[in-house]
Structure 1
Amino acid sequence: MKAYVFPGQGAQFSGMGKDLYDQSEEAKKLFHQANEILGFNITDIMFEGTDEQLKQTNVTQPAIFLHSVILAKVLGDQFQPDMTAGHSLGEFSALVAAGAMKFEDGLKLVAARANAMQKACEAQPSTMAAVLGMEDAEVERICGEIDGVVVPANYNCPGQLVISGSVEAVEKACEALKEAGAKRALILPVGGAFHSPLMEPARAKLEAAIKATEINTPICPVYQNVVAKGVTDTNEIKTNLVNQLTGAVKWTQIMQQMIADGASEFIEVGPGKVLQGLVKKVDRAMPTASAEI
């Protein structure tokens, strides 16, 4: 069974999507449509922008979504998923690629999500930190003992977890985690506490937009971040999408569940190879590949 996986924020690079634009008329049409929907030429930034320009949340998220979704569409009959999943932002790409959402609706939601997250970040100083070389349960326990908001946010693979919260609480947690034996507890250069209760203002804003968006039954189960299981029910998909902003990305659990459900190959659709590396941390023998036209 083929599992198609879609990357999240951090996979962007200058020049992303240019090969698709040059090689495919369908891709060109979709990129032009995206420029119109967003109200600015995101293609200029994707193809020729600096790393700094690509790092802006309102650019990064739509850019990665566009690269992933347009690639899936250009693959045509080659794209035959038995299951899909996306890491954080990538969940929107996975849903559009699996036919649960129209391209334009997905892009509008991603743009709204990026802007809402940006505003939530500006409202309160917050951050995230990568914790390496410690059991998930131990990280959860230590975060639970810290005063203030600090929670596990991204379960990336065994021994790699990202925590998220207020600057002070995350710094305190990093000290406590290192004392308890974590190999590393490193503050990340991000704008805010994604996938934590501090994203509540963004969740509330996005909820109305998600509720108003038409969701169709996908062509295969989409393994959603907050529940780490395959979902096809349209109401459940909406609920999980809303909860994703304040809930953890259970990527380790998603990969384990996909494998348990019969995944025999993982294909990464979009920029970079980060997700292939994470699959190998769960099952070294599992075949992985990048989607290519």
Structure 2
Amino acid sequence: MSKHAFVFPGQGAQFSGMGKQLYETSEAAKALFEQANDILGFRISDIMFAGTDEELRQTKVTQPAVFLHAYVAFKMQATEQPAMVAGHSLGEFTALVANGCLSFEDGLRLVKARAFAMQHACEAEPGTMAAILGLEDSKVEEICAGIDEVVVAANYNCPGQLVISGSTKGIEIACEQMKAAGAKRALPLPVGGAFHSPLMRHAEAELIAAIEAAQFNEPSCPVYQNVVAKAVTNPAEIKANLIAQLTGPVKWTQCVQAMVADGASQFTECGPGKVLQGLVQKINKEVAVSGLS
């Protein structure tokens, strides 16, 4: 039986003007934006609608902004309930609100706590990330393992596109070795830290405290979580995987493959941008993709 999957983007999808049309055309959407402003303690909607790129890149803004836009787009425009959900990194929290595992309020508070925890980890142990294009995953993993610095495969975005994460020195060495091994590109990314690597361990205590304070419910459909790349419905497992995601990889390629194997034939991306639609099509050309923004 054909199943409809809903997917939610992560950090990097933000742009000035995001969510403005939803706010202006729907009273229900406007109410959610205003509720978010109250929860966060500042008017994130003003920054989303008219902020500069620099303002939108602030950690305390980026993660809640993408979460908020994605959830409001889903809530206002989805005409059917998802059969399954997944999110890329930060997007996993939006997915968990979409399937009822978390309330909107708890989801937003968790995203806020995660953003601050990750910022603190970046300050404690600086690092960076780089996109590697045109190499087999196994070759990228092999090169990372051979470097005497923290360098790991962090985002399995689609075949031939893998993001690595680690210490600044480690990423520099890795990029040179990736190019020597035949990578088409080894491109350092303009990010504030080594996300999805062991260098994020300083964020764990803060995130665990926030997760323990939130109410996790039985979800209405499975979430395909980044670190395990399979369907999960047990709230205790969902919580453990959210914590593991801080220092573990985003197995996006494997998540999409698992969703297709479990019957997904249509993928709808909710939120800013079209990055996930492109990745899904690169992972499986047979499925239909669409977007709600």
TM range (shorter): over 0.9
Q: Secondary structure at the match of 2:247?
A: coil
Q: Secondary structure at the match of 1:289?
A: strand
Q: Is the 8 A contact 2:124 2:202 kept in 1?
A: no
Give the Å deviation of 1:79.
3.4
Structure 2 residue runs without a partner (length 5+): none
CA offsets, 1:81-129, max 9 Å, x none? Answer: 0000000000000000110000010000000100111111112220000
**Once structures 1 and 2 are overlaid, which stretch shifts more, 204-213 or 61-70?**
204-213
Q: Secondary structure at the match of 2:54?
A: helix
Q: What does residue 11 of structure 2 align with?
A: 9
Q: Is the 8 A contact 1:5 1:84 kept in 2?
A: yes
Q: Secondary structure at the match of 1:151?
A: strand
Structure 1 residue runs without a partner (length 5+): none
CA distance in 1, matches of 2:7, 2:246: 19
Q: Is the 8 A contact 1:131 1:186 kept in 2?
A: yes
CA distance in 1, matches of 2:5, 2:197: 28
CA offsets, 1:161-191, max 9 Å, x none? Answer: 0000000011111111111111111110000
CA distance in 1, matches of 2:120, 2:207: 12
Structure 1 pair 62/79, CA: closer, same or farther in 2 (3 Å)? farther
Give the Å deviation of 1:212.
2.0
CA distance in 1, matches of 2:148, 2:242: 28
TM-score, normalised by the number of residues in structure 2: 0.98
Q: Secondary structure at the match of 2:246?
A: coil
Q: Secondary structure at the match of 2:190?
A: coil
Residue 203, structure 1, aligned to residue 204, structure 2: yes
Q: What does residue 186 of structure 1 align with?
A: 187
Which AA in structure 1 matches 2:242?
L
Q: Percent identity among equivalent residues?
A: 67
Q: How much is the aligned-residue C-alpha RMSD, in angstroms?
A: 0.9
CA distance in 2, matches of 1:79, 1:23: 21
Give the Å deviation of 1:205.
1.4
Which AA in structure 1 matches 2:70?
S
Of 47, 50, 55, the residue aligned with 1:45 is 47
Q: What does residue 255 of structure 1 align with?
A: 256
CA offsets, 1:197-217, max 9 Å, x none? Answer: 000011221011112211011
Give the Å deviation of 1:285.
2.7
CA distance in 2, matches of 1:188, 1:48: 25
**Once structures 1 and 2 are overlaid, which stretch shifts more, 254-263 or 280-289?**
280-289
Give the Å deviation of 1:47.
0.6
Q: What does residue 143 of structure 1 align with?
A: 144
Of 53, 58, 64, the residue aligned with 1:62 is 64
CA distance in 2, matches of 1:80, 1:212: 27
Which AA in structure 2 matches 1:20?
L
Q: How does 1:69-218 map to 2 (within 5 A)?
A: 69-75=71-77, 78-218=79-219
Q: What does residue 230 of structure 2 align with?
A: 229
Q: What does residue 244 of structure 1 align with?
A: 245
CA offsets, 1:119-157, max 9 Å, x none? Answer: 111122200000000010110011000001000000000
Which AA in structure 2 matches 1:184?
R
Structure 1 segments, 4+ long, off by >2 Å, are none
